[in-house]
A and B are shown apart, each in its own frame.
Chain A
Amino acid sequence: MKVALFVPCYVDQFYPQVGIASLQLLQKLGITAHFPAQQTCCGQPLANSGCERDALPIYQHFVDTFQDYDYVVAPSGSCVYHVRKHFDKMEQSDAVQHVRAAAYDLIDFITQVLGVTDIPGRFPHKVGLHLSCHGQRGLHQANESEMTPVRDGQLRRLLSSLDGLELTELDRNDECCGFGGTFCVSEAAISGRMGQDRVADHVRNGTAVLTGGDMSCLMHLQGIVRRRQLPIRVLHAAEILNGLSC
């Protein structure tokens, strides 16, 4: 199995530890992932701003970079959703179709492709889970409150398999955090308020460590946590599953 690791552009630059944790976690599960150095971005920031046409060369670059791999794994539901859903704008060559189908979010890859149901380890903290909307509603990584009162999902289960970990029960389990790509600066006032409300839900319900599958939402929430100097640590789920202790 030839697996490539795609590290989203902003993760590469600001959260290298998330890429490292993803690589190491896969290693522990018996997968040696390769990081093709020419990779950049999935093109989502442009496309979400309406500039899909300018993103097409980026899509092509992505496909060229990853077409020789069986799987492209990324610690981001949002980027994977973009590749799967919006690369339909390209001519659907075999390579494009292959890359779209081969793109997996890290958690989905671990649970669906590798069939892993629990991770040995210990993390004795109260953990608040924030799934990205693209992961949750786009890739269906978890139940949606719009459909059912049952709160369930792959990452929820994986995290719960760690010893000592207690999940926070939020008042609003799956409300958007307000990051939204360029929305976070073009509608900064609403974006900020949405983030504050999300963080307040975690504070109210006792979250000590805030985690999720997408660093973009977490970067936004972390920005609020740090501005308000709250005693909450923000970590990508890969870091926790990789055995980080804090």
Chain B
Amino acid sequence: MSHSIRAEKFVADVDRTTWHDETLWFVRQKRDKAVYGVPEFQELRELASQIKEHTLSRLDDYLVQFEAAAKANGVHVHWAADAREHNDIVLGIIRRHGATRVVKSKSMLTEECHLNPELIRAGIEVIDTDLGERIIQLRDEAPSHLVLPAIHLKKEDVSDTFHLHLGTEKGNHDPQQLTEAARQHLRAKFLAGQVAITGVNFAIAETGGVVICTNEGNADLGVNLAPVHIACMGIEKLLPRLTDLGVFTRLLARSATGQPVTTYTSHYTKPAEGRELHIVLVDNGRTQQLGRPDFRASLKCIRCGACMNTCPVYRRSGGHSYDFTVPGPIGAILSPNIDMKKHSSLPFASTLCGSCTDVCPVKIDIHVQLYKWRQVLAEANEIPASKKWSMKFMGRMLTSPKAFGVSGRLGRQALRLLPHGLTHATSLNTWAIARELPEPPKQSFREWYQQQEGKS
């Protein structure tokens, strides 16, 4: 199913679309305010971009350096080529400890690897401890946003979900009371956790440590209560030095939510006495993307979600319309690398307005890559045949001024003579769903110009 079909369903609910758009626009405005307050923000973006490009250019070296440093700290380092290996490694660690209860903070990588269903199948209880993640976990849904995973839901939806699963009062939509119910519910899970899984925002090659940014402190609580910590990260999360980190922490939260910094920025370098720290380094398609010069820069992404908040298409079509772990503009350039056929419509789910590129804190040329993916997809015959042939026809017509003039005249005449019901039949012409066609003039500009020249 293409993005446009899923988007059409979302946008059919006019009021909900308005609410979704306005909610995310509000976050974009908060981002703007935070950005305007930092005079050197554009220099920071440039610096971050260069650090990431440098790191990607010698990622192999930095990965080896990171592994050595982490091992020296007493950390267990694991390498996973794909999602399958990642899940096996994580499950292996859990089993070795005879654990059955896992608490997990936010991690898009484990979403990408579909870890939860894998663990559940193996008889492990896995609880997402980020509030938004927990809400969608109870509903058995995928996150619809990188930073705000339950942004597609209203407080009424959360109330219904909590009533069903946590026994809260039916019809009580009070956010504070709902959050309190989640706190009480999660507290018990935290205390019972035997293994804590977390994502990773940044990993430092120099120190072998990982950095996790949250607002809820749920990663820290989970890690500090459980004897085993498994940190799962994509290999692109590396930064060379600890001194590089400040550039990114200044950009991340401002771009994501408009906060100067996340509430918690936690460094995990060594396991505590008597405890274990595992770091799983995952490729899962990343080296393939690294090998595509036009699309390599997509690996600079720090998962702030700013491109989603600003994207006028995302705001009106919702994260689920992308049907990929990472939705929005960045998802549309990451997904064809994973499965070109399945995600062939995503690079076309954009007007190429370029706002995503302009808010991206690491200056990924998102809209340029969308344009380039379109070329790759068309060459691979992954665009609709009707589009392909109409473009071929247009190509012919537009190299012949005569054919262009004649087709234009005929088209305008047809538009004038045919009944409105036919020219605006939405089954034939999707333009007419929301719009009138332009009123065709009797004379084109070229006809007028020729006439003027004849006069003079």
Residues of A whose CB lies within 8 Å of any CB of B are 7, 9, 11-20, 23, 35, 37-41, 43, 45-55, 57-58, 60-61, 86, 133-134, 137-138, 144-149, 172, 175-176, 178-197, 219-220, 222-224, 226-227
Within 8 Å CB of B429, what residues of A? 185
Q: How far is the CA of A226 from the CA of B379 in the complex (A)?
A: 38
B412 CB-CB contact with A under 8 Å: yes
Residue among A48, A86, A187, A188 with max Cβ neighbours from chain B (10 Å): A187
Task: Tell me whether A9 and B436 are in contact (CB under 8 A).
Answer: no
**Residue from the list A35, A47, A55, A188 in contact with B434, Cβ < 8 A:** A188
Does chain A have a CB within 8 A of B392? yes
Q: Is B313 an interface residue (CB 8 A)?
A: yes
Q: List 23 A-B contacts (CB under 8 A).
A: A12-B445, A16-B441, A35-B449, A37-B450, A43-B398, A46-B394, A47-B371, A49-B374, A50-B378, A55-B395, A133-B352, A134-B354, A144-B358, A146-B35, A146-B355, A175-B312, A183-B351, A190-B11, A190-B316, A195-B435, A197-B316, A220-B435, A224-B434
Q: Is the interface of A mostly helix, strand, loop or mixed?
A: helix
Q: Does B444 contact A (CB under 8 A)?
A: yes
Known: A51-B388, A219-B438, A220-B435. A176 touches B374 (CB 8 A): no
Pair B312/A178 contact, Cβ less than 8 Å: yes
Interface 9-residue window, one of B2-10, B86-94, B180-188, B286-294: B2-10
Asked whether B42 is an interface residue with its Cβ less than 8 Å from the other chain, the reply is: yes
| B303–chain A nearest beta-carbon distance, Å | 19
Is the CB–CB distance between A147 and B42 below 8 Å?
yes
Among A39, A57, A134, A223, contact of B395 (Cβ-Cβ < 8 Å): A57
B398 touches A41 (CB 8 A): yes
Given A149-B32, A187-B313: A223 touches B435 (CB 8 Å cut-off): yes
In the complex formed, the residue of A with least CB distance to B449 is A35
- Contact partners of A7 in chain B: CB under 8 A: 445-446
Q: When chains A and B are docked, how far (Å) is the Cα of A145 from the Cα of B354?
A: 12
Q: Mark B355-367, 1 if CB is under 8 A from A, else 0.
A: 1011100000000
Q: How far is the CB of B13 from chain A (nearest CB, A)?
A: 11
Count residues on chain B whose CB falls below 8 Å from chain A CBs: 71
Q: Which residue of A lies closest to B25 (CB)?
A: A172
Q: Do the beta carbons of B392 and A54 come within 8 Å of each other?
A: yes
Known A-B contacts: A13-B412, A47-B371. Give 10 more (CB < 8 A): A12-B444, A15-B438, A40-B399, A49-B391, A51-B388, A58-B395, A137-B355, A188-B431, A189-B8, A227-B435
Cβ of A184: which chain B residues have Cβ within 8 Å of it?
431
Task: Identify which of A12, A37, A192 contacts B433 (C-beta below 8 A).
Answer: A192
Cβ-defined contact, A223 with B398, below 8 A: no
**Residues A188 and B398 in contact, CB atoms below 8 Å apart:** no
Residues in B whose Cβ lies below 8 Å from that of A187: 3-4, 7, 313, 348-349
Q: Report whether B391 and A51 are in contact in the complex, using a CB–CB cutoff of 8 Å.
A: yes
Residues from chain A with Cβ under 8 Å of B391 in the complex: 45-46, 49, 51, 54
Q: How far is the CA of A192 from the CA of B17 in the complex (A)?
A: 13
Residues of B within 8 A of A182 (CB): 387
Which residues on the A side are within 8 Å of B36 (C-beta)? Answer: 148-149
Partner among B32, B352, B399, B435 whose Cβ is within 8 Å of the Cβ of A57: B399
Given the complex of chains A and B, what is the CA–CA distance between A227 and B432 in angstroms? 9
Complex Cα gap A58–B395 (Å): 7
Closest approach, in angstroms, between the C-beta of B26 and any C-beta of chain A? 12
Interface SS of chain B: helix
- Asked whether A194 lies within 8 Å of B316 as measured between CB atoms, the reply is yes
User: How far does the alpha carbon of A173 sit from the alpha carbon of B392 in the complex, in Å?
Assistant: 37
Q: A149-B36, A176-B351 are in contact. Are A13 and B444 (CB under 8 A)?
A: yes
Q: Does B419 contact A (CB under 8 A)?
A: no
State A14–B437 Cα separation when bound (angstroms): 10
Q: Are A189 and B435 in contact (CB under 8 A)?
A: no
Give the residues from 159 to 183 in chain B that come closer than 8 angstroms, CB to CB, to chain A: none
Rounded to whole angstroms, the CA-CA distance of A188 and B317 in the bound complex is 12
Which of B395, B441, B447 interacts with A51 by CB under 8 Å? Answer: B395
- Determine the residue in chain B with the shortest Cβ distance to A187: B4
- Residue B421 at the A interface, CB < 8 A? no
Of A43, A50, A188, which one neighbours B383 at CB under 8 angstroms? A50
B404 within 8 A of A: yes
Contacts of B446 in A (CB 8 A): 7, 12, 35, 37
Using a CB-CB cutoff of 8 Å, which residues 1-39 of chain B contact chain A? 3-4, 7-8, 11-12, 17, 21, 25, 32, 35-36
B448 contacts partner chain A, Cβ-Cβ < 8 Å: yes
| Interface presence of B411 (CB below 8 A) | yes
In the bound complex, CA of A123 to CA of B316 (Å): 36
Given the known inter-chain contacts A20-B448, A49-B374, A133-B355, please indicate yes or no for A186 contacting B348, CB distance below 8 A. yes
Within 8 Å of chain A (Cβ to Cβ): is B385?
no
Enumerate the 8 nearest inter-chain pairs by beta-carbon distance, A residue then B residue, closest first.
A192-B434, A223-B435, A180-B351, A50-B378, A188-B430, A50-B374, A19-B445, A176-B353
- B8 contacts across to A, CB distance below 8 A: 189-190
**Please, which residues of chain A bring their CB within 8 A of the CB of B358?**
137, 144, 146-147
Q: Which residues of B contact A195 (CB under 8 A)?
A: 434-435
The CA of A157 and the CA of B352, in the complex, are separated in Å by 26
Take A49-B391, A187-B3, A220-B435 as given contacts and tell me if A14 and B440 are in contact as well, using a CB distance cutoff of 8 Å: yes
